[in-house]
Structure 1
Amino acid sequence: MLGKRISVHVAASLAVLLACLMLAFPAEAFHASLKGLSIWWDVLFPALFPFFVIAEIMLGLGIVHFFGMLLDPMMRPVFRIPGIGGFVMAMGFASGYPIGARLTSQLWTQRLVNREEGERLVAFTTSSDPIFLIGAVAVGFFHDAALAGVLAAAHYGSALLIGLLMRFHGRPGKHTDEYRQPAFTSLLEASPGQPLWRRAFEAMHHARMNDGRTLGTMLQQALASGLSMIFVIGGLVVFFSVVMEVMASAKVMSLFDAAIESVLGVFGLPLPLAEAVASGFFEVTLGAKAAGSAVGVPLVYQVAIAAWVLSWAGLSVHAQIISLLHHTNLRYAPFVAARFVHGLLAAGLVIALWRPLAPYHAALAAFFPVPDMNRPLETLAQHTLPAAGLTFAAVLGASLLLSFCFLIGKRCMKRIRS
């Protein structure tokens, strides 16, 4: 009770302080809100809204359940989550934050994951989308498409490492049978002699029958739900844009820079990167841009800090995740701990992979598109959707292949033992 009262007083004090800063710098706050609104309308709305609608429809049609049954032999022993989490992983890597959290909240609502499984799933499926990593960071901020390879390897590789680490989160042996829909539970417990593909089609059929909505109703509700979510995200983007601007105008960010410089000095990292770390702590785009424009810093450290910013995701994305999960019992503490460790692992992987991947930088650049971030809608049509589709297909295909390998290996071990 005392801790809750203290948190309420702290939140109230911060709100009053923010209001005073906005009154002290009204012009800066207004221009920052316009900038945040432009980012939301030009980039986030066209990039995220289609994925919100498509994910809702795929859940209603049972397609997610179909892939969930196929991926169960791999996802459960490796990540300790149901196979349906493999679809969330592919969608999260392809479309970026906060799609993974959105899908996880829907799975929790449909009783397909429990709290601990949902926390594991959100922890490692919250990642940057490929077009932002390639187009905005590597090309736009660093002006070098060849850096996309090491950035992608560090960012997505460390995300998988987080998934492996998070499998130890929660009590061992805890299952989700009391949370799952009865039809889906019976299919999971079907006899091993029944082919996996048949159980997958039966899972899709049962999910479609249990949903019961017509396609028109499903589309209408998916559009309404997607619009509601995208407006919440837009409000958070505008809010944090204003917060960052008024804090910078009041010279509060300089205090953060000084504190971060002392931490960087302890680890022997270049001090000019303090601004990038401070900005990235609040917002991804500003932090990555500051890392790319740091002067007098070796490129490897600039890219490492950019990887940290992408993996930490900024408090703006954290607020989006909280807003998407507020109706669930999923806790924020495991998520923020995973984000912090993800950032450290991504930065460390950049430094570790820098020399081994250096001879292949030019070759890797040829495989990445070079979008024009000054024309975001055209970029969306030409690069975002194809890149997201290729990423989704690659992650889902690799997961399905591993799942069948796990299934075959399991059956072979049973026959050897028998």
Structure 2
Amino acid sequence: MTLKKLGGPLLGLLLAGCMLLVLLHPANTLAAALRGLAIWWDVLFPSLFPFFVISEMLLGFGVVHLFGALLDPLMRPLFNIPGSGGFVAAMGYVSGYPVGAKLTAKLREQQLISRVEGERLVAFTTSSDPIFLLGAVSVGFFHDASLGLVLALSHYGGGLIVGLLMSFHGRQDKPTAMSKHPGGSPGLPQAAEGQREGRLRLALNSMAEARRRDGRSLGELLKSAVQSSLQLIIVVGGLVVFFNVLMELLTRAGIMSALFSVLGSLLSFAGFPPGLSAALASGFFEVTIGARSAGEAVASVPLQFKAATAAFILSWGGLSVHAQVASILNGTGLRYLPFMAARLVHAFLSAVLLLLLWKPVVGSRLSAGFSSLPAFTGFSASPVSGLAASLGLLGVLLGAALLLSLLVWLLRQTPLRRPRP
């Protein structure tokens, strides 16, 4: 019997075992479900839902096409994706998972990117948002805001390296017609014509053409954006609740403790503190629980290894985030396996980068007497202030990307003067 034929019965047995554990531990199951529901309602809904609605409306108004044409000179040579990927990257880094996957799926549905370009894009735009990384992890879990800078550098730096590496993914495939236009939009002027007319005019024409093709009124666009965003945020919430319940059931069944023991032995064999096994095992399933466990690890574990474990977990994302992304990519033709491989590479890169940057970044701050960064602590004050900080950071990222794109384009247009003989 093949492995594919065994998959169905094994999955059925696992689900039956979970149902039996639910019947044996109803109170603990309910408490875990309520914890997951509280995380969704208090954190995820207010932080993700506005970005879902805004991104839908920006696509309808053609703003993504505008930035796509403007950012194409930067994104093409670096990441081998259309310029619209720059907007997705900025939104994904600011608002966190799974916004990058959601926008990538939207671009794929509108045939603005090819399958390979979509797989490259979703691989490095799925990341933690700075509010969670700086506020919740650094201040809330580790009680040390000075860790925020090194965590951000390792996490987002590792993501950019993954983007550069993923530019080689699928290069053997022939480019489709949709990927040959600025911003990845079919039916728009070619790059040579855009250079003659001016890139800004090309970007404005791209936005106007996209708006004309959409054709919906403001009311229809808002209604559609709210409906689709509600459906997606409910799926996200259901997955968060499910994985919280699953982890509770595995704990009650003794499976998590066995996993802690195995991971502890592997860490000891590799020369790392075995006290990090609980954080790694929890982070494999759910990023919030794993990052909190890393901050609460035994005092004998050096702080840099705790932080490296948190960076690993944040970049891996947990099976909960993987399930969210897989549900979003379903039906778009984008494969899950490249995304999972990119998450593993990102996780290891982030952990290594943090250990390499520990002494230059954190060591110098601690030796200088800096034990806190007040500017970071305000990120987690409230959902309203967090949303305002995210929108401000989004503006900064898009502005910096536009300036870099303009600089690259100007360098390309400037002819090199050959020395006279």
The TM tier, using the shorter chain, reads over 0.9
Look up the match of 2:76.
Answer: 76
Relative to 1, partners in 2 of residues 1:289 and 1:182: Cα closer, same or farther, differing over 3 Å? Answer: closer
The residue number in structure 2 matching 1:234 is 237
Residue 45 of structure 2 is aligned to residue 45 of structure 1:
yes
Choose from 243, 247, 251 the match for 2:250.
247
Give the Cα separation in 1 of the matches to 2:378 and 2:195: 48
How far the C-alpha of 1:3 sits from its partner, in A, is: 4.1
Counterpart mapping for 1:292-311 below 5 A: 292-295=295-298, 296-311=300-315
> 1:181: how far off?
4.9
- Residues 1:201 and 2:204 are matched in the alignment: yes
Could you tell me which of 393, 411, 414 is aligned with 1:412?
414
Change (3 A) 1:236 1:415: farther
Quote the residue 2:99 is aligned against: 99
Distance 1:364 1:149 in 2: 11
Bigger drift between 316-325 and 3-12 goes to 3-12
CA deviation profile, 1:263-301 (whole Å, cap 9, x unmatched) = 212321100000000000000111001000111110000
Residue identity matched to 2:319 = L
Map of 2:354 onto structure 1: 350
- Over residues 35-94 of structure 1, what are the superposed CA-to-partner deviations in whole Å (9 max), with x where a residue is unaligned? 111111111111110000000000000001000100000101100000000000000000
Moved more, 72-81 or 250-259: 250-259
For the structure 1 residues 18 and 413, does the alpha-carbon distance in structure 2 shift closer, same or farther, using more than 3 Å as the test?
A: farther
Residue 176 (structure 1) shift: 3.1
Are the aligned partners of 1:69 and 1:188 in contact in 2 as well (CA < 8 Å)? no
Q: Which moved more, 1:111-120 or 1:354-363?
A: 354-363
- Report the counterpart of residue 377 of structure 2 in structure 1: 369
Deviations 1:14-50 (A, max 9, x none): 2122112212211111111111111111111111100
Q: Check 1:360–1:408 CA distance in 2 against 1; reply closer, same or farther (3 A cut).
A: farther
Q: C-alpha distance in 2, partners of 1:182/1:390?
A: 31
TM-score by length of 1: 0.94
Letter in 2 for 1:392: L
- Runs of 5+ in structure 1 lacking a partner? 373-377
Which whole-Å CA distance do the structure 2 matches of 1:41 and 1:416 have between them? 63
> Structure 2 vs 1, CA of residues 142 and 12 (structure 1 numbering), >3 Å: closer, same or farther?
same
Partner amino acid for 1:129?
D
Matched with 2:291 is 288
- Deviation at 1:191? 4.5
CA distance in 1, matches of 2:7, 2:190: 45
Name structure 2 gaps, 5 residues minimum. Answer: none
CA shift in 2, pair 1:228/1:393, >3 Å = same
Deviating beyond 6 angstroms after TM superposition, the runs of 4 or more aligned structure 1 residues are 414-417
1:314 alignment counterpart: 318
Identity of aligned residues (%): 50
Summarize the alignment of residues 10-409 of structure 1 with structure 2, pairs less than 5 Å apart: 10-172=10-172, 174-178=174-178, 181-184=185-188, 186-188=189-191, 190-295=193-298, 296-357=300-361, 358-360=363-365, 362=370, 365-370=373-378, 379-382=382-385, 384-409=386-411
Decide whether aligned partners of structure 1 residues 103 and 371 sit closer, same or farther in structure 2, where only a CA change above 3 A counts: closer
Task: Give the secondary-structure state (helix, strand or coil) at the position aligned to 1:81.
Answer: coil
How far, CA to CA, are the matches of 1:401 and 1:191 in structure 2? 18
**Aligned-pair CA distance for 1:415:** 7.4
Question: Is the contact between residue 112 and residue 178 of structure 2 (CA under 8 Å) also seen in structure 1?
Answer: no
Q: After alignment, is 250-259 or 194-203 more displaced?
A: 250-259
- Mean CA deviation greater in 406-415 or 136-145: 406-415
Deviation at 1:412, TM superposition (A): 2.2
Q: 1:416, 1:234 → 2: CA distance?
A: 61
Distance 2:207 2:187 in 1: 11
Residue 134 (structure 1) shift = 1.0
Counterpart Cα distance in 2 of 1:261 and 1:370: 36
Equivalent pair of 1:141/1:292 in contact (CA under 8 Å): yes
Take 1:187 and 1:210, find their aligned partners in 2: how far apart are those partners?
18
Of 252-261 and 10-19, the range deviating more from structure 2 = 10-19
Q: What is the one-letter code of the residue matched to 1:12?
A: G
Q: Determine the C-alpha separation between the residues in 2 that align with 1:364 and 1:271.
A: 28
How far does residue 245 in structure 1 lie from its aligned partner after superposition?
Answer: 0.5
SS at match of 2:402: helix
User: What secondary structure does 1:369 align onto?
Assistant: helix
1:210 deviates by 0.4
Q: CA deviation at 1:249?
A: 1.1
Range with bigger deviation, 336-345 or 13-22: 13-22
The DSSP-based 3-state class of the residue aligned with 2:36 is: helix
TM-score of the pair, normalised by structure 2: 0.93
Instruction: Say if 1:191 and 1:32 are closer, same or farther in 2 by CA, change over 3 A.
Output: closer
Q: Distance in 2 between matches of 1:189 and 1:255?
A: 61
Deviation at 1:392, TM superposition (A): 1.3
Asked whether the equivalents of residues 75 and 82 of structure 2 are also in contact (C-alpha less than 8 Å), the reply is: yes
| Matched position secondary structure for 1:193 | helix
Q: What is the alpha-carbon distance in structure 1 between the residues aligned to residue 14 and residue 120 of structure 2?
A: 31
